[in-house]
């Protein structure tokens, strides 16, 4: 069949660029990597194509072809003929022409890399001999255009190194600093690069004026020597910029991150723990402590030096020199008994040593810690707030309890060193989360401490609530600690992206300064081993790349940030087995954390999606992870002015209507009013027993207060969000 198709194509007359209702389009996308030019052939409306051929023409006096590649799997024929006089012939046939091949719009069918022989020259690219045939041996309409581009390849590169002798000059013996970021800005557009294991970075850029910033991850630890902060790149120019970086003080910083691709009840589940010393000094007798949920049973680990006591595993890492890193796999079984589908189970990893590198003078030394337990004998949830620091709290801090997605009024607490305070709540099946800010001047990144407890007691339906643990951020912003809470799942999309915290309500509201953890999962659902997997994740402008921190992963990988704000994570030689041979081993994931851009305002959205490539197959596009920036979006609990009565206010947030549900309540002379944040009355009326439906379609999105009056006297009020 392939031979017949090739013969059929070769006999076709040259097709002209046409236009019709189902026109197939060829586009050229040009980019630069250093002083090399990359030309990608992209397609639109590429449906059921069995084969094609065309030639790409270029100026061979200005460009020299380095490589030509295609992500398409061919029937065995060579995709590319030898370039002759600036023409590259391309030929493709599917394995089974009767089935054809369909690709998403903007998919790349061929990619060419050129070295630039003549700079600042206009080069014409155009197609010829364009011939396509679909699976029915019909010739589709094809549209294509010629383009002219300038050979403006420029290169800025250099090294960031640990200036051990502190002379602000680099020596060959000094070691490079890995995972540092370099930012270039021009015309309000920012470019980023990440240093490799040798501290090397490089930018391929168009000509222009640029400002340079070395992003210092720990300003209290490192001093960046003076460097040229503004440069001008001429066409075809190569510049070098090496930057020595001195340790201000000797201090280890052991970073850790832990995650799993998914959590299945009644099955063994693999967690992956990563660690590295990002400090300026060796971490002596370093350890990792992993505290895991009581419903998880430790099965095994691939690390030998460890001990288990109760729900805690301690890994002895020994001495970690600056730059040392590693990965540990842990297998837990999620118990069948006592758990339900959708229940959240948390694992927290903490790295030691994690002592302060510098003691801030304005801090009292107070450290607030939380504990929670389900006291089934007394039918209550008990939160314990303790000051574990060496100093007393200097002022009261108000803690907030959120019950499911409703916030209770704040209550103050003031503790001396080692003093505790208990908060008792009814064990009614609700998910409780207690959050309290740390002492003023607290030196760590996590300025608050937060803890949730789920599954204690039962509600009126003899169940407990789920789906609320991951609405809010955990208190793990510091590099040495990471909490991972996963809800157990049944069916799932094997290739997806998720962002935690999930955010509040239908719009997934988050505070602007939250740290977002993104988890990208992939699975080889094909019929053969995947040798390489590439995950491409474009980071929208709503995310601040300068705060990017790569985390745990299922397999080793390397990554880069491209000109177009895309993280490209490459799992080379991953040898990911297909799901038909070994379903458990067919999964993989990668995780990173990042913060929203500082200039976002309330109601701004953060939308994030990824593309996953298995070998040379077309991209698998993930879902879109969505968040909305907001403030004061947590619903306040009903405020009972008088004695509480049997009433419910829902849904919250509301979209079409607000329901005031009065069951077995004497409603004579009961009324309601709805006011906006300015105190203006938007709606009002009388109430009857049962469900009272109040239309809110006419209301603008925002926060409103529903008031209930009995005999003209205010009895209750509750805050409602209209979306």
Strands (E) located in 234-324: 238-240, 243-247, 254-259, 268-277, 283-292, 296-301, 306-309, 312-320
Q: Which of 162-171, 386-395, 655-664 has the highest mean pLDDT?
A: 386-395
- Contact, 233 vs 250, CB < 8 A? no
- Do 627 and 643 lie in one domain? The reply is no
Mean of pLDDT values over 95-123 = 82
Instruction: Specify whether 626 is located in the same domain as 708.
Output: no
Measured CA to CA, the distance from residue 567 to residue 609 in angstroms comes to: 11
Query: What is the C-alpha separation between 67 and 171, in angstroms, rounded?
Result: 36
Within-domain flag for 297 = no
Q: How many C-beta neighbours within 10 Å does residue 82 have?
A: 9
State pLDDT tens for residues 41-97: 999 999 999 889 999 999 888 888 888 888 887 644 457 777 788 888 888 887 777
- pLDDT on residue 281: 95
Q: Please report whether residue 265 resides in a domain.
A: no
pLDDT value, residue 34: 57
In the DSSP assignment, the letter for residue 265 is B
Confidence of residue 447 (pLDDT cuts 50, 70, 90): very high
The pLDDT score that the predictor gives to residue 152 is 64
In degrees rounded to 5, what are phi and psi of residue 469? -60, -40
CB 402 within 8 A of CB 472: yes
Residue 315 lies in a domain: no
Residue 722 to residue 699: CA distance in whole angstroms: 7
Residue 696 — very low, low, confident or very high, per pLDDT cuts 50/70/90?
confident
* Distance in angstroms (rounded) separating the CA atoms of residues 573 and 575: 5
Q: Please provide the average confidence, as pLDDT, over all residues in the chain.
A: 88
350 found inside a domain: no
Residue 137 lies in a domain: yes
- This model's pTM is above 0.75: yes
Asked if residue 593 and residue 508 are part of one domain, the reply reads yes
Instruction: Note the pLDDT of residue 503.
Output: 94
219 in a structural domain: yes
Q: How confident is the model at residue 6 (pLDDT cuts 50, 70, 90)?
A: very low
User: Rounded CA gap, 121 and 111, in Å?
Assistant: 21
CATH number of the domain encompassing residue 467: 2.60.40
Half-sphere exposure of 106 (CA within 13 A, CB side): 5
Comparing C-alpha atoms, which of 721, 723, 659, 713 is closest to residue 687? 659
Rg (CA), the chain: 30
Token pair, residue 264, equals 């299945």
- 263 belongs to a structural domain: no
In the chain, the percentage of residues whose pLDDT exceeds 90 is: 59
CA 510 to chain centre: 14
Whether the Cβ atoms of residue 435 and residue 514 lie closer than 8 Å to each other: no
In this structure, the answer to whether residues 372 and 408 fall within a common structural domain is yes
Band the pLDDT of 553: cuts 50, 70, 90.
very high
- Same-domain pairing of 652 and 533: no
pLDDT class for 470, splitting at 50, 70, 90?
Answer: very high
d(CA 622, CA 497): 6
User: Both 163 and 127 in a single domain?
Assistant: no
Task: Report how far apart, in Å, the C-alpha atoms of 82 and of each of 52, 76, 116 are.
Answer: 17, 17, 19
Quickly state the pLDDT bin for 348 (edges 50, 70, 90).
very high
Q: Hey, is 586 helix, strand or coil?
A: helix
* Same-domain check for residues 541 and 566: yes
Q: Which of 124, 150, 176 is the last residue of a domain?
A: 150
Higher pLDDT, 640 or 21: 640
Residues 576 and 552 in one domain: yes
* CA angle at 200 for the pair 194 and 203, rounded to the nearest 5°: 65
Among residues 116, 150, 184, which one ends one of the domains? 150
Coarse DSSP helix, strand, coil percentages of the chain, rounded to the nearest 5 percent: 0, 50, 45
Average pLDDT over residues 231-243: 85
Cα–Cα distance measured from residue 632 to residue 510, given in angstroms and rounded to the nearest whole number: 10
CA 217 to CA 227: how far, in whole Å?
17
Same domain, 118 and 100: yes
Supply the range of the domain harboring residue 704.
638-722
In Å, how far from its chain's centre is CA 621?
15
Mean pLDDT of 394-423: 91
DSSP states along 610-648: -EEEETTSPPEE---EEEEE-SS-SEEPPEESSS--SEE
Distances (CA, A) of 350 to 359, 480, 616: 21, 6, 39
The verdict on residue 678 lying in a domain is: yes
Instruction: Write down the pLDDT at residue 16.
Output: 42
Q: CA 15, 16, 22, 28: dihedral to nearest 10 degrees?
A: 100
Instruction: Supply the CATH number for residue 606's domain.
Output: 2.60.40.740
Specify the range with the lowest mean pLDDT, choosing from 99-113, 473-487, 529-543.
99-113
Q: How far apart are CA 228 and CA 192, in angstroms?
A: 17
Q: Which of 450, 482, 514 is the last residue of a domain?
A: 482
Non-local CB neighbours of 15 within 8 Å, separated by 6+ positions: 130, 131, 132, 139, 142
Q: What is the 3-state secondary structure (H, E, C) of 168-188?
A: CCCCCCCCECCCCEEEEEECC
Q: CA 616 → CA 71, 108, 388, 513, distances in Å?
A: 4, 11, 54, 39
Residue 608: pLDDT band by 50, 70, 90 thresholds? Answer: very high
Is the pLDDT at 609 greater than 70, yes or no? yes
Number of domains in the chain: 5
pLDDT higher than 90, residue 330: yes
Q: What is the dihedral of CA 9, 10, 11, 16, to 10 degrees?
A: 70
Instruction: Give the per-residue pLDDT at 200.
Output: 93
State residue 3's pLDDT score: 39
pLDDT given at position 78: 56
The SS3 assignment for 206 reads coil
* CB burial readout 554-580, b (16+ within 10 A) else e: bbebebebbbebebbbebeebebbbbe
Q: Say if residue 21 is in the same domain as residue 93.
A: yes
User: Which domain CATH number covers 106?
Assistant: 2.60.40.680
pLDDT of residue 41: 94
> 94, exposed or middle or buried, with CB in 10 Å at 0-12, 13-18, 19+?
buried
CATH of the domain at 188: 2.60.40.10
The pLDDT of residue 9: 45
Those residues whose C-beta lies under 8 Å from the C-beta of residue 506, and which sit 6 or more positions away, are: 653, 655, 723
125 with 23, same domain?
A: yes
- The encoded tokens of residue 717 equal 């009020």
Q: Which DSSP helix (H) or strand (E) runs through 422?
A: strand 420-426
Residue 649, pLDDT score:
81
Contacts of 62 (CB under 8 A, 6+ apart): 116, 117, 118, 121, 123, 151
Q: Do 83 and 67 sit in the same domain of this protein? A: yes
């Amino acid at each position: 069949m392939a031979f017949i198709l090739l013969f059929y194509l070769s006999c076709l007359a040259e097709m002209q660029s046409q236009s019709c209702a189902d026109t197939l389009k060829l586009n050229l996308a040009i980019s630069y990597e250093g002083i090399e030019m990359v030309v990608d052939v992209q397609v639109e409306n590429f449906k059921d194509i069995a084969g094609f051929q065309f030639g790409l023409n270029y100026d061979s006096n200005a460009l020299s072809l380095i490589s030509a590649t295609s992500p398409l799997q061919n029937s065995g024929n060579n995709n590319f003929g030898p370039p002759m006089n600036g023409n590259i012939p391309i030929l493709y046939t599917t394995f089974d022409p009767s089935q054809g091949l369909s690709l998403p719009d903007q998919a790349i069918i061929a990619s060419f890399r050129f070295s630039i022989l003549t700079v600042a020259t206009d080069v014409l690219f155009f197609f010829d001999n364009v011939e396509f045939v679909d699976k029915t041996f019909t010739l589709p309409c094809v549209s294509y255009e010629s383009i002219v581009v300038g050979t403006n390849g420029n290169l800025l590169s250099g090294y960031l190194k640990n200036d051990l002798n502190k002379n602000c000059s680099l020596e060959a013996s000094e070691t490079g600093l890995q995972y540092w970021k370099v930012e270039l800005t021009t015309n309000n557009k920012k470019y980023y690069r990440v240093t490799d294991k040798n501290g090397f970075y490089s930018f391929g850029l168009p000509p222009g004026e640029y400002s340079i910033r070395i992003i210092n991850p720990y300003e209290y630890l490192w001093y960046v020597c003076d460097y040229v902060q503004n440069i001008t790149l001429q066409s075809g120019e190569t510049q070098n910029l090496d930057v020595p970086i001195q340790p201000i003080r000797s201090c280890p910083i052991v970073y850790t991150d832990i995650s799993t691709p998914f959590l299945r009840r009644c099955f063994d589940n693999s967690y992956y723990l990563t660690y590295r010393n990002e400090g300026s000094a060796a971490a002596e007798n370093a350890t990792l402590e992993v505290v895991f949920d009581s419903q998880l049973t430790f099965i095994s680990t691939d690390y030998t030096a460890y001990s288990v006591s109760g729900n805690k595993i301690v890994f002895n890492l020994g001495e970690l020199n600056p730059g040392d890193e590693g990965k540990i796999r842990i297998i837990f079984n999620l118990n069948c008994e006592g758990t339900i589908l959708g229940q959240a189970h948390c694992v927290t990893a903490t790295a030691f040593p994690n002592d302060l590198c510098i003691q801030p003078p304005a801090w009292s030394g107070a450290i607030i810690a939380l504990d929670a337990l389900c006291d089934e004998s007394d039918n209550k949830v008990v939160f314990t707030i303790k000051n574990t620091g060496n100093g007393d709290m200097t002022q009261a801090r108000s803690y907030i309890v959120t019950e499911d997605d409703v916030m209770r009024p704040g209550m103050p607490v003031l503790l001396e060193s080692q003093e505790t305070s208990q908060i008792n709540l009814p064990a009614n099946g609700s998910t409780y989360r207690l959050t309290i800010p740390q002492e003023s001047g607290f030196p760590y990144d996590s300025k608050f401490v937060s803890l949730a407890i789920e599954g204690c007691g039962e509600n009126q339906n003899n169940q407990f609530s789920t789906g609320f643990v991951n609405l809010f951020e955990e208190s793990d912003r510091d590099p040495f600690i990471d909490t991972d809470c996963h809800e157990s799942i049944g069916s799932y999309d094997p290739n997806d992206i998720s962002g935690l915290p999930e955010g509040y309500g239908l719009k997934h509201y988050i505070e602007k300064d939250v740290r977002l953890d993104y988890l990208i999962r992939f699975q080889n659902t094909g019929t053969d081993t995947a040798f390489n997997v590439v995950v491409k994740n474009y980071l929208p402008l709503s995310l601040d790349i300068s705060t990017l921190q790569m985390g745990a992963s299922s397999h080793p990988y390397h990554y880069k940030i491209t000109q177009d704000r895309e993280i490209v994570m490459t799992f080379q030689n991953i040898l990911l087995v297909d799901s038909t041979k070994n379903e458990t081993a067919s999964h993989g994931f990668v995780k990173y954390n990042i913060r929203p851009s500082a200039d976002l305002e309330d109601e701004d959205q953060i939308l994030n999606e990824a593309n996953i490539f298995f070998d040379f197959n077309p991209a698998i596009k993930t879902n879109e992870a969505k968040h909305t920036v907001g403030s004061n979006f947590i619903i306040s609990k009903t405020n009972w002015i008088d004695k509480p009565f049997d009433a419910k206010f829902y849904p919250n947030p509301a979209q079409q209507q607000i329901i005031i549900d009065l069951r077995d309540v004497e409603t004579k002379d009961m009324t309601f009013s709805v006011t906006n944040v300015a105190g203006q009355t938007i709606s009002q009326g009388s109430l009857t027993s049962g469900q009272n439906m109040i239309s809110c379609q006419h209301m603008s999105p925002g926060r409103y207060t529903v008031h209930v009056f009995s005999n003209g006297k205010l009895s209750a009020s509750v805050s409602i969000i209209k979306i």
